């Protein structure tokens, strides 16, 4: 532990980091290697707990918008993990990390400036993050959760099915990944799984037949679930095993009228302990409820009034038998007369087409079969038989069939009927030429319950609506707008997968429809508050396009999407998984690059890319646009951008391999990595003794300076002095140094109050951590300087001006974590007004209300957080969650001449870059002032304000050198913007205010400002910056202009207008 001016921080040594990386690498390898049938979903969740424990959850990495923070600046778990373990000594891992980077972000999840976007814009910047509950951890539920979280939504998955085994090892209850049936794999689904790291998260045995075997057209449900579960965990989905959905009631906020779902759910003993809630019934609040819980959906049953009458379809009297048979060794296959010891290829045959084939089966097995499906897998082979019911009775079977869920439950029973069913299947498969070896355990079938089961294939359910909602306009207020007189309010509720449309199994449409329903649901949630979408499509003005019109247009499009999904009107390119050679994409791409690899078609949220009728509309627009040589199809642009990016990052590799660069690690569980030592520290430089008032005359002088010294590069000085009247005395001096808020970091105002000592006044900010610096030089009578601790004691909460009060219920951050306000006010750990919140979720907090030894409030450990006001809303105020403030970056003024690089690096405060585009080196400024004060006797004898020149500044070499640089720099800045008169004229004209008199620093020789700087005490305050300190930069010109304008303008509007005028003249 190191102490820096009473602020302690813990260092993370390189050796400690190496030990942690080694430990997590081993755990992560086990996590990746966990595959069915050796491991199931519960095993993967346990391994994930070892990988992503409390220590890893508290990792902080560097981002484009500052240090990561789970509440205000979140990153994905995989990004934290990669920052610690890197490539783990595995050549595949960099490719895996890069694949995760390539998954498209949108909405609040899109962070400006990141290379992983490949220069492409945010496809939907108008997404308002929602709290989404997905009920069901099957393939559709997991894939939906992944897509939602990539849009910035807070996603929770409830999955109640936990595997239970008797002491004998027999299954008493089936788990959520116990199914091994193999649905049909469509090309666009295969492309989607490849995008989700299927080739790295599946083992070689499972990966080969799915992605590289041309004859294989299926994937195991258990394999698919485990692949998607790993993705979901690495991308931050809150997966809750052992939690069951019971019911949901609509709760409406009395002020905003915004409805939410109060979900009743049950936690078993294991989940209650893990998530620290009471075992049994609990209630939680969500904005969106999505049922992905299969054909007997509890969500659909409890919300049936919203979806209308549920239709039960019966196509025919169709009995289905699913049989999973064990793999037979190559040697045994040869003994069984299979040529070369090889299994036959996949089959999907019907009696109508393959009459001879089924006639042979009937002759050899005396079985009347309508359909036979056979898919090979890495651990077993999967078969479906569709016999006539009378044929089962003829072979001594009861003819009883069940729906699939009941069929699986019956499959656990080893009764006489079950043995007859296995014998029937064995004869049919043998006659069909499918290998099954009776000598293997269980007669050649896999273990129960997946060995053999019969159920009714033709019983299918579907709904008339897929998504229902009715919301008030965002910002509706009962006090301002009156009582709600509209229709009954309903938060969004949706059905997806088999809960929406139960497919006819032999057609293999489960994944095809399911994946479309996933994207349709995301489209509905993403655009529920995106009024610009339909205003643009309908040619309306977004400002006059009412919310009622928007909601109606959104519901109409949702209905169209559902109908197209139901009828499977998939676009030709999406169905084939590849672009049409004569289509717009490949036509334009081949014109740009002849030898480029053809991109695959990936399923997207936008329905105009997925459904044929809508795609034709879009293609018509593309064909018109392609005639313009300057226009480029978005897919073509991304492919070219990615090609350029990979050509660049693969240059450094010895053999051209990928050189992956993830986010830089800052700290682990509060321990700071070397190189970020000043992250979270505050440095106070003691000020030299001030000059007496007599040295400056009766008119008290004020100096505010930003000084920079870095080798031969010109330093920047700004000195403002203002007359306060002949008789003002020492209390009349006023200094205010404002640094501009940059993105999520707080700005800080330094001012002098009635007393002689400086005080710090934090300005409002939406950031958790101020990252600014100010250097102040003032000449006024004052006692001997003492080190000043920043925010030495927290101000009482009642002294903070805030719209939040202790006891308020709030939603915190972009994830909208619910909690209660426990503290509002100033803190000791960072400047600015902070709100302390006790979160309802006991796993999402950071502390117990105590930070750095100071207790601000009391709550259970790991439930408390401190957050800026702008990242909070009152619970129920509005569905619109405040977004983090945009990062505003100053536009650099064109340099007149490039400065030569320094011969050697000068000391800086941590070696980090100022968020102001290259701020002053404050340490150098303080050192220069201290050097000048070393000749205090000589300096005090000099006149405070000489008419011009350097003769009155001092005789010390240091003082002369600093003065020359300051004088030349200030004169250069004055001439750059057209002189002091031009600045004053432009400012007064813009603001209409009477500004500084000619006797101010803006109207006096530069040497006066330089002298004032050298005569005055200097206090340098350094604050943490993400990944950098204060180093000289190329935007000093703009910083100088902004500082002057901030001192002159009285409002943000005036400041912006004056700045634009001055910048135009400066250029």
List Cα–Cα distances, 622 to 79, 533, 588, 628, 637, in angstroms: 37, 19, 11, 10, 14
Tokens of 328: 């037979």
Do 220 and 36 touch, CB atoms closer than 8 A?
yes
> Which contiguous run of DSSP H or E holds residue 491?
strand 490-495
Q: How far is 79 from 635, CA to CA, in rounded Å?
A: 26
Q: How far is 322 from 587, CA to CA, in rounded Å?
A: 45
| Neighbouring C-alpha atoms within 13 Å toward the C-beta of 1005 | 15
Tokens of 210: 């799915």
Tracing tokens 């619109």 back to the chain, one arrives at 880
Closest CA to 574 of 614, 542, 524: 614
pLDDT of residue 1062: 63
Tell me the per-residue pLDDT of 1016-1041, one tens digit each, with 9 for 90 and over: 333 223 333 333 333 333 333 344 34
pLDDT of residue 739: 34
- HEC assignment per residue over 238-302: EEEECEEEEEEEEEECCCCCCEEEEEEEEECHHHHHHHCCCCEEEEEEECEEEECCCCCCHHHHH
Q: At what angle do helices 1036-1048 and 980-991 cross, to 10 degrees?
A: 50
Tokens of 91: 């050549």
Do 134 and 288 touch, CB atoms closer than 8 A?
no
Do 12 and 667 touch, CB atoms closer than 8 A?
yes
**DSSP states along 11-60:** E--HHHHHHHHHHHHHHHHHHHH--TTTS-HHHHHHHHHHHS-HHHHTEE
pLDDT of residue 794: 42
Question: Counting every residue, how long is the chain?
Answer: 1067
Which residues on neighbouring strands pair with residue 67, listed in sequence order?
62
Neighbouring residues of 314: CB distance < 8 A, sequence distance ≥ 6: 458, 459, 460
Q: How far is 1025 from 678, CA to CA, in rounded Å?
A: 8
Tracing tokens 């036979």 back to the chain, one arrives at 372
pLDDT of residue 580: 92
> Which contiguous run of DSSP H or E holds residue 826?
strand 817-826
Tell me the per-residue pLDDT of 683-709, one tens digit each, with 9 for 90 and over: 323 333 333 333 333 223 323 333 333
Do 760 and 754 touch, CB atoms closer than 8 A?
no
pTM to 2 decimals? Answer: 0.67
Q: How far is 1060 from 1067, CA to CA, in rounded Å?
A: 11
309 class by beta-carbon count within 10 Å (0-12 exposed, 13-18 middle, 19+ buried): exposed
pLDDT averaged over consecutive 10-residue blocks of the chain (1067 residues)?
A: 49 92 96 91 96 95 92 95 94 92 95 93 95 96 98 97 81 84 87 92 79 72 94 97 97 95 96 94 97 92 88 67 93 91 89 94 93 88 88 78 49 66 93 94 89 76 89 92 94 94 71 94 97 92 91 96 93 92 90 87 95 90 83 93 87 64 92 66 33 31 31 31 35 32 31 31 34 31 34 40 85 82 87 87 84 89 87 68 38 34 34 31 43 48 36 39 46 42 42 35 34 33 32 36 42 52 61
Closest CA to 35 of 446, 343, 378, 408: 378
Q: How far is 707 from 774, CA to CA, in rounded Å?
A: 10
pLDDT of residue 622: 83
Q: How far is 719 from 706, CA to CA, in rounded Å?
A: 8
In 3-state terms, what secondary structure has residue 834? Answer: strand
Do 1006 and 970 touch, CB atoms closer than 8 A?
yes
Closest CA to 723 of 1010, 1001, 1014, 1017: 1001
Do 980 and 1052 touch, CB atoms closer than 8 A?
no
Q: How far is 220 from 511, CA to CA, in rounded Å?
A: 12
């Amino acid at each position: 532990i190191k102490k820096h001016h009473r602020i302690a921080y813990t260092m993370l040594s390189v050796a400690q980091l190496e030990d942690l990386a080694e430990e997590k690498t081993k755990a992560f390898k086990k996590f990746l290697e966990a595959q069915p049938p050796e491991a199931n979903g519960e095993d993967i969740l346990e391994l994930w707990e070892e990988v992503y424990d409390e220590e890893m959850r508290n990792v902080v990495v560097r981002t484009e918008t500052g240090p990561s923070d789970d509440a205000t600046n979140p990153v994905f778990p995989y990004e934290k993990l990669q920052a610690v373990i890197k490539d783990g000594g595995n050549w595949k891992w960099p490719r895996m990390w890069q694949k995760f980077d390539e998954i498209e972000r949108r909405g609040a999840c899109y962070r400006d400036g990141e290379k992983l976007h490949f220069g492409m814009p945010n496809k939907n910047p108008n997404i308002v993050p929602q709290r989404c509950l997905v009920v069901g951890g099957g393939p559709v539920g997991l894939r939906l959760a992944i897509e939602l979280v990539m849009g910035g939504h807070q996603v929770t998955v409830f999955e109640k099915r936990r595997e239970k085994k008797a002491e004998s090892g027999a299954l008493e209850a089936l788990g959520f990944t116990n199914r091994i049936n193999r649905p049909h794999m469509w090309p666009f689904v295969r492309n989607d799984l490849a995008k989700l790291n299927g080739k790295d998260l599946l083992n070689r045995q499972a990966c080969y037949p799915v992605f590289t075997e041309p004859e294989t057209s299926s994937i195991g449900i258990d394999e698919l679930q485990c692949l998607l579960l790993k993705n979901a965990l690495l991308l931050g989905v809150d997966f809750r095993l052992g939690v069951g959905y019971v019911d949901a009631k609509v709760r409406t906020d009395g002020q905003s009228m915004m409805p939410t779902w109060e979900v009743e759910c049950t936690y078993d003993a294991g989940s209650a302990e893990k998530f620290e809630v009471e075992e049994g019934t609990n209630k939680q609040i969500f904005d969106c409820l999505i049922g992905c819980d299969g054909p007997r959906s509890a969500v659909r049953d409890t919300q049936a009034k919203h979806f209308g009458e549920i239709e039960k379809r019966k196509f025919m009297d169709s009995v289905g038998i699913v049989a999973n048979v064990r793999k037979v060794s190559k040697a045994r296959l040869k003994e069984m007369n299979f040529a070369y010891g090889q299994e036959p290829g996949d089959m999907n045959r019907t009696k109508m087409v393959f009459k001879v084939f089924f006639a042979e089966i009937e002759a050899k097995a005396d079985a009347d079969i309508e359909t036979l499906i056979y898919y090979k897998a890495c651990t077993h082979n999967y078969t479906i038989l569709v016999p006539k019911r009378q044929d089962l009775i003829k072979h001594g079977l009861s003819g009883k069939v069940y729906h699939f869920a009941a069929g699986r439950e019956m499959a656990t029973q080893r009764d006489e009927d079950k043995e007859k069913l296995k014998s029937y299947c064995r004869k049919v498969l043998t006659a069909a030429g499918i290998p099954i070896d009776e000598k293997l355990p269980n007669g050649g079938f896999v273990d129960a319950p997946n060995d053999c089961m019969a159920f009714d294939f033709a019983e299918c359910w579907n709904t008339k609506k897929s998504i229902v909602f009715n919301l008030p306009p965002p910002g509706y207020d009962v006090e301002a707008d009156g009582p709600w007189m509209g229709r009954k309010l309903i938060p969004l509720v949706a059905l997806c997968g088999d809960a929406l449309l139960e497919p006819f199994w032999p057609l293999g449409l489960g994944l095809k429809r399911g994946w479309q329903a996933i994207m349709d649901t995301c489209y509905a949630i993403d655009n529920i508050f995106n009024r610009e979408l339909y205003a643009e499509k309908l040619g309306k003005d977004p400002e006059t396009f009412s919310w009622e019109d928007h909601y109606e247009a959104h519901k109409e499009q949702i209905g169209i999407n559902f109908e197209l999904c139901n009828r499977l009107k998939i676009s030709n390119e999406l169905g084939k998984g590849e672009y049409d050679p004569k289509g717009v994409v490949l036509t334009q791409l081949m014109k740009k690059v002849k030898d480029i690899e053809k991109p695959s078609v990936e399923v997207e949220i936008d329905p105009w890319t997925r459904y044929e009728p809508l795609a034709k509309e879009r293609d018509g627009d593309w064909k018109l646009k392609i005639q313009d040589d300057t226009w480029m199809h978005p897919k073509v642009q991304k492919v070219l951008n990615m090609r350029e990016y990979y050509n660049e990052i693969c240059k450094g590799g010895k053999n051209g391999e990928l050189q992956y660069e993830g986010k830089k690690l800052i700290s682990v569980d509060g321990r700071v990595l070397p190189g970020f030592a000043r992250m979270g520290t505050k440095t106070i430089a003691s000020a030299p003794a001030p000059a007496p008032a007599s040295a400056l005359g009766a008119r008290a002088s004020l100096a505010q300076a930003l000084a920079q010294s870095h080798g031969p590069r010109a330093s920047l000085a700004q000195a403002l002095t203002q007359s306060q009247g002949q008789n003002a005395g020492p209390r009349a001096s006023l200094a205010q140094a404002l640094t501009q808020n940059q993105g999520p970091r707080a700005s800080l105002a330094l001012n002098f109050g009635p007393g002689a000592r400086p005080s710090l006044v934090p300005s409002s900010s939406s950031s958790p951590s101020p990252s600014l610096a100010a250097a102040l030089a003032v000449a006024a009578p004052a006692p001997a300087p003492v080190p000043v601790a920043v925010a030495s004691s927290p101000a009482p909460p009642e002294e903070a001006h805030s719209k939040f009060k202790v006891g308020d219920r709030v939603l915190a951050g972009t994830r909208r974590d619910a909690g209660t306000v426990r503290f509002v006010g100033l803190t000791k750990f960072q400047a600015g007004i902070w709100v302390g919140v006790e979160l309802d979720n006991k796993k999402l907090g950071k502390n117990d209300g105590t930070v750095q030894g100071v207790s601000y409030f009391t709550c259970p450990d790991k439930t408390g957080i401190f957050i800026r006001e702008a990242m909070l809303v009152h619970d129920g105020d509005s569905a619109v969650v405040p977004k983090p403030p945009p990062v505003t970056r100053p536009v650099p003024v064109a340099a007149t001449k490039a400065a030569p690089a320094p011969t050697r690096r000068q000391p800086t405060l941590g070696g980090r870059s100022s968020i102001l585009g290259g701020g002053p080196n404050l340490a150098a400024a303080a050192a220069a002032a201290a050097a000048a004060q070393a000749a205090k006797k000589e300096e005090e004898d000099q006149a405070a304000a000489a008419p011009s020149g350097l003769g009155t500044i001092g005789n010390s070499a240091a003082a002369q050198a600093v003065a020359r640089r300051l004088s030349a720099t200030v004169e250069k800045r004055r001439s750059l913007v057209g002189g002091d008169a031009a600045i004053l004229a432009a400012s007064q004209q813009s603001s209409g205010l009477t500004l500084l008199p000619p006797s101010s620093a803006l109207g006096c020789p530069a040497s006066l400002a330089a002298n004032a700087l050298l005569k005055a005490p200097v206090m340098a305050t350094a604050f943490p910056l993400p990944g950098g300190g204060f180093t000289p930069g190329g935007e000093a010109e703009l910083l100088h202009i902004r500082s002057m304008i901030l001192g002159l303008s009285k409002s943000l509007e005036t400041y912006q207008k004056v700045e634009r005028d001055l910048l135009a003249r400066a250029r």
